Amino acid sequence: MKAETLLKVENMTVRFAVKRGRGFGKNAHLHAVDDVSFTVKCGETLAIVGESGSGKTTTALAVARLVNSYKGKVLLGDTDLLALGDEDLRQARARVQFIFQDPYSSLNPRLRASDIVREPMDSLGDMSEAEKSERVDFLFNAVGLRPEQQRLFPHQFSGGQRQRIGIARALATQPELIICDEPVSALDVAVQAQILNLLRKLQKDFGLTYLFISHDLGVVQHMCDSIAVMYMGKIVEHGSRLDIFNAPQHPYTRALLSAVPSVDKARRAQTKRILIPGDPPDPVNLPAGCRFANRCPVVQDICRRDEPELRNGVACHFPNAEL
């Protein structure tokens, strides 16, 4: 595997203005993604995991510039995507493509499957009509759809097949980075396996790099080379697949892992469920100190005062504390 870095995100912050009270005074800001940095190596998969509201989808959207970042850098190779102007950005879009969560709402119901797959090439590429048709044929074959299905409309496909169309569309412009936002969570379990196997096969065949967003730790474990765990807009732990799953350090990561129900009897017997009571804090009025402090089983005074920084892959004052 090549070791060069493809995507480098530096201190990215995304914030949204929210109205509070009766409209007087300053608008408050919700920091959905707060000072996040990570890298993805060429040909590898980085997973961002976290619960709903942790900012993982916003991170993905911001990397693809589908929402605007407030500050930070997104370096794809040597280009900073956040600094690009209109036409340069349009060109750069061919290099980053997106697979969306819900295959029912992310395909245009009025277009035939072949046109859906062709569309990115129409707007982003400079191929001739014949080349485009050839590439559509090739992509349909690569994602496991039959050639005669090109004429059909989205409603004539099952959920798994629609997701295959979404994947073919993402591959159309031969992107370097593909962002998969919960690509299987809307699918039935048996169909999930088909799509996950397909994504891994495509990665091997075409040398793709994935930024993989998911809340399902089982899926993440299967798909990824490294993992970033997010909580309330911050990365709390970032490490390789084996480190995170075999030796998690942050109490939140450990609670998250212990909460996943398992069919493995040995694992059930040896994991003690770490319960984190309560709810996450209000994202607009974040408390001082560590954002996880109000639910953390090993919280101490310093946690409520100073915000821990990401050091050695973990943002915690007391990593590996006895839980």
Partner 1 sequence: MALLSVKNLRIEIKTRAGVAPVIDDLSFDLDAGESLSFVGESGCGKSMTALALMGLLPEGVGSVASGSITFDGEDLTQASEARLRALRGNDISMIFQEPMTSLNPLYTVGEQIAEVLRAHQGLSRKQAWDQAVELLDAVRIPNARARAEDYPFQMSGGQRQRVMIAIALACQPKILIADEPTTALDVTVQAQIFDLLQDMRRQTGSAIILITHDMGAVAEMAERMIVMYAGRKAELGPVDTIIAHPRHPYTAGLISCVPHILSTLTSEREDLVEVPGIVPALQDFGKDLCLFASRCRHAQPKCVNQRPPEIAFGNTHQAACWRAEEL
- Long-range CB contacts (within 8 A, 24+) of 248-254: 249/313, 249/314, 249/316, 249/319, 249/320, 250/292, 250/314, 250/315, 250/316, 250/319, 251/276, 251/292, 251/296, 251/297, 251/298, 251/316, 251/321, 251/323, 252/276, 252/292, 252/296, 253/229, 254/323
Q: Determine, following the binding rule CB under 8 A, whether residue 285 of this chain makes contact with partner 1.
A: no
Site string for partner 1, 238-257 (x = CB under 8 A): ---xx--xx--------xxx
Which residues within the stretch 194-213 sit at the binding site for partner 1 (CB under 8 A)? 194, 196-197, 200
By CB under 8 A, residue 192 contacts partner 1: yes
190 belongs to the binding site for partner 1 (CB under 8 A): yes
Of 71-79, 83-91, 113-121, 190-198, the segment contacting partner 1 by CB under 8 A is 190-198
| 258 is an interface residue for partner 1 by CB under 8 A | yes
DSSP states of 6-61: EEEEEEEEEEEEE--TTS-SPPEEEEEEEEEEEEEETT-EEEEE--TTSSHHHHHH
The correct pick among 22, 26, 265, 272 for binding partner 1 (CB under 8 A) is 265
Binding to partner 1 in span 34-63, by CB under 8 A: 51-52
* 318 contributes a contact to partner 1 by CB under 8 A: no
Short-list 275, 245, 248, 247, CA closest to 259:
275
Site for partner 1 in 213-242 (CB under 8 A): 215, 217-219, 221-223, 241-242
Name the residues that contact partner 1, by CB under 8 A.
Answer: 51-52, 158, 160, 188-194, 196-197, 200, 215, 217-219, 221-223, 241-242, 245-246, 255-268, 270-271, 273, 275-279
